[in-house]
Amino acid sequence: MDMAELDAAVSQCRACPRLVEWREEVARTKRAAFRDWTYWGRPVPGFGPHDAALAIIGLAPAAHGANRTGRMFTGDRSGDFLYQALYDVGLASQPHAEHIDDGLELRGTRLTAPVKCAPPENKPTPAERDACRHWLADELRLLTPTLRAIVVLGGFGWQALLPVLAAAGWQVPRPRPKFGHGVRVTLAGPTEITLFGLFHPSQQNTFTGRLTPAMARDVLSAAAAAAGL
Ligand code: SF4
């Protein structure tokens, strides 16, 4: 299976009953500001080149963001912050992401998430995280020949990612390294990769100043350098 086939298969998944019901209910009821939209309402595959050297791992699609537009981090405040930062460090072709045909391209970077359906209150259950793990594992396996660095946006993604890397043959230390903003861990394995921790660009972090644009640019710049971008 290649990445295009994987993306197509992901978008058909119905393995988590609670999330299927929620993503489709949100797509039916809509937010008033988006009543003219036909919501995507399905799992959201990763976005970016299939031979990326850098992966960015978020949490899950936002109900009225990627669950509406069908592209990771597209159409919500977290995405506004993230794409501006990616543009600032030369990894995105434009600083905004509004819809799937807006012309945005990522340079050597693939954006994805450990849970590919929008969860109520942005909180997937551990069972849903585990059910979705195989999609992330397949995605990283396909990226392995070119992958050199991973930026993880928050502790949920970090906890989800480490078992995937360990199962795929990377040497994850015990005890497992803890998530933190600015944490950097290099792992030996099928390829040497470096993990970077970055606070999730949720409004709880960006509106409170816990995560500033400069902080995001610093981590993304370091990760781009580690990935050879
Ligand atoms: Fe499938 Fe993942 Fe969505 Fe669950 S969260 S339905 S495993 S794509």
Task: Report how far residue 77's alpha carbon sits from residue 83's, in angstroms, rounded to the nearest whole number.
Answer: 10
What's the confidence (pLDDT) of residue 214? Answer: 98
Can you tell me which atom of ligand 1 is nearest the CA of 20?
6
Write out the chain's pLDDT in tens, 229 residues. Answer: 999 999 999 999 999 999 999 999 999 999 999 999 999 999 999 999 999 999 999 999 999 999 999 999 999 999 999 999 999 999 999 999 999 999 999 999 999 999 999 999 999 999 999 999 999 999 999 999 999 999 999 999 999 999 999 999 999 999 999 999 999 999 999 999 999 999 999 999 999 999 999 999 999 999 999 999 9
Query: In which domain, by residue range, is 129 found?
Result: 3-226
What's the confidence (pLDDT) of residue 128? Answer: 97
Cβ 110 under 6 angstroms from ligand 1: no
Cβ 132 under 6 angstroms from ligand 1: yes
Cβ 118 under 6 angstroms from ligand 1: no
What's the confidence (pLDDT) of residue 24? Answer: 97
Q: How many domains does the chain have?
A: 1
Q: How far is the CA of 76 from the centre of ligand 1 (A)?
A: 21
- Contact between residue 22 and residue 121 where contact means Cβ atoms under 8 Å apart: no
Cβ 137 under 6 angstroms from ligand 1: no
Tell me the β-bridge partners of 110.
Answer: 55
What's the confidence (pLDDT) of residue 136? Answer: 96
Cβ 19 under 6 angstroms from ligand 1: yes
Which has the closest alpha carbon to 46: 119, 127, 128, 132? 132
Residue 73 CA: distances (Å) to CA of 58, 138, 176: 9, 21, 28
- The CATH number given to whatever domain includes residue 119 is 3.40.470.10
Cβ 224 under 6 angstroms from ligand 1: no
* Whole-number average pLDDT of the chain: 97
Q: What would you report as the CA-atom Rg of the chain, rounded to the nearest whole angstrom?
A: 16
Cα angle 30, 128, 111 (rounded to 5 degrees) comes to 70
Tell me the β-bridge partners of 135.
Answer: none
- Ligand 1, atom 7: closest residue by C-alpha: 132
Which has the closest alpha carbon to 113: 174, 175, 59, 70? 59
Q: How far is the CA of 208 from the centre of ligand 1 (A)?
A: 31
Residue 74 CA: distances (Å) to CA of 64, 84, 100, 123, 127: 9, 12, 8, 19, 26
What's the confidence (pLDDT) of residue 117? Answer: 98
What's the confidence (pLDDT) of residue 42? Answer: 98
Q: How far is the CA of 127 from the centre of ligand 1 (A)?
A: 10
